[in-house]
C-alpha cells in the first residue's frame, strides 16, 4: 500500500476511536525514484497531497534513509549524513525497489542497475530482439504499478506477435501508470500519468481534487478489474474508455 495512502487511513481510523495520532511521512531516498522534495513524482498530484498532509498536521520529512529500527524508534540518515531518531508506535516501511536476484545474475540481459534492459517504448530487449519485458523488473523509467503492467501487457503481446512473424514492433508504451490515493474514508485522488510526469486522466474532471468517486472506484471497480480482468490478461488499461470519458484528452 502506498505510504501516503496508509498514513491518511491511519489518521482517519485514529480520529474515529478518539486517539490522537502523530503521523510522520518519511519520503525516503531511492536511487531510481528520487522524488526530491515532493510526496509524489508528478507535480500535479504532489501539490494537493502536500496540502492535505499540511491540513492534517502530518509531518513530512524528505530525503531520509531508514537505517535501523528498534522496538520504539526508527533511525534515519539525512542527506548531510546525520542520524535522526524518531519515536513510533506503528511503523509502515516501503523498502527501496531492487530487481529480482535471479535477473541480476544474467549480465547479458540487464542494465547497470540490474533491471531487464528494454526499449522504454517497444519493451523489446535492447540487445536481443526475441526478448520482451514488462512489469517491475524492466529498465523502463515508468512508475512501477499494476496499471503500468496492464498497458505494457498489450504492447508486449502486439510486438511479440509481430516479431514472431519477422516484422518490426510498432506498438508503443507511453509510460502509463496510475495510483489511487485515498485521503479519507470517503474520498481520494486518482493520479494517472505517462512519461515525463505528464498527467493522463481518464475522466474529464480534475482528478487531483479529492472526490467520492475515487473511493467507490477503489472499493468496487478496481478489485473487479484486477481479479476478473487483469489477472486473466483481459485488461489493458483505460485508453479505450478514455476516448468516451475524456475525449479531449485523446
**Site residues (vs ligand FAD, CB under 6 A):** 1-2, 94, 100, 102, 135-137, 144-147, 149, 179
DSSP β-ladder status, 59-69 and 24-28: parallel
Toward ligand FAD, which CB reaches closer, 2 or 184? 2
Strands (E), the chain: 24-28, 59-69, 73-77, 83-87, 177-182, 188-194, 198-199
Residue closer to ligand FAD (CB basis): 1 or 13: 1
CB of 80 to ligand FAD, least distance (A): 29
97: which DSSP letter? P
Nearer to ligand FAD, 151 or 242 (CB): 151
Cα R_g (the chain), whole angstroms: 20
State the minimum distance, in angstroms, from the CB of residue 92 to ligand FAD: 9
Minimum distance of ligand FAD from residue 115's CB (angstroms): 11
Rounded to whole angstroms, how far apart are CA atoms 138 and 141? 8
By beta-carbon proximity to ligand FAD, the closer residue of 41 and 135 is: 135
Which is closer to ligand FAD, CB of 17 or CB of 101?
A: 101
The closest residue (CB) to ligand FAD is 135
CA proximity to 143, closest of 190, 196, 65 = 196
Separation between Cα atoms, residue 17 and residue 118, nearest integer Å: 49
Q: What is the Cα–Cα distance from 123 to 131, expressed in whole angstroms?
A: 9
* Min separation Cβ 202 and ligand FAD, Å: 14
Q: How far is the CB of 177 from ligand FAD (least distance, A)?
A: 8
Measured from the CB of residue 127, what is the shortest distance to ligand FAD in angstroms? 21
- Enumerate residues 6+ apart whose C-beta is below 8 A from 204: 245, 246, 248, 249
Q: How far apart are CA 88 and CA 234, in angstroms?
A: 43
* Other CB atoms within 10 A of residue 125 CB: 19
Q: Which is nearer to ligand FAD, 72 or 228 (CB)?
A: 228
Amino acid at each position: 500500500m502506498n505510504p501516503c495512502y496508509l498514513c491518511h487511513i491511519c489518521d482517519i481510523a485514529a480520529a474515529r476511536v478518539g486517539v490522537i495520532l502523530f503521523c510522520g511521512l518519511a519520503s525516503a531516498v531511492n536511487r531510481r525514484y528520487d522524488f526530491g522534495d515532493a510526496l509524489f513524482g508528478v507535480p500535479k498530484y504532489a501539490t494537493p497531497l502536500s496540502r492535505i498532509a499540511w491540513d492534517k498536521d502530518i509531518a513530512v520529512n524528505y530525503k531520509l534513509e531508514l537505517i535501523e529500527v528498534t522496538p520504539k524508534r526508527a533511525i534515519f540518515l539525512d542527506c548531510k549524513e546525520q542520524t535522526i531518531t524518531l519515536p513510533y508506535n506503528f511503523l509502515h516501511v516501503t523498502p527501496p525497489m531492487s530487481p529480482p536476484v535471479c535477473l541480476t545474475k544474467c549480465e547479458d540481459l540487464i542494465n547497470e542497475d540490474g533491471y531487464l534492459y528494454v526499449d522504454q517504448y517497444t519493451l523489446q530487449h535492447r540487445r536481443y530482439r526475441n526478448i520482451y519485458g514488462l512489469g517491475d523488473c524492466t529498465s523502463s523509467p515508468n512508475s512501477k504499478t499494476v496499471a503500468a503492467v496492464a498497458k505494457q501487457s498489450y504492447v508486449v503481446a502486439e510486438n511479440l506477435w509481430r516479431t514472431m512473424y519477422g516484422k518490426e514492433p510498432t506498438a508503443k508504451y507511453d509510460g502509463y501508470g496510475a495510483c489511487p490515493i485515498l485521503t479519507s474514508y470517503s474520498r481520494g485522488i486518482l493520479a494517472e500519468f505517462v512519461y515525463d510526469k505528464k498527467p493522463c486522466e481518464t475522466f474529464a474532471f480534475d482528478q487531483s481534487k479529492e472526490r467520492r468517486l475515487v473511493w467507490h472506484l477503489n472499493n468496487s471497480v478496481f478489485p473487479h478489474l484486477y481479479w476478473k480482468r487483469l489477472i486473466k490478461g483481459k485488461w489493458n488499461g483505460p485508453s479505450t474508455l478514455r476516448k468516451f470519458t475524456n475525449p479531449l484528452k485523446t
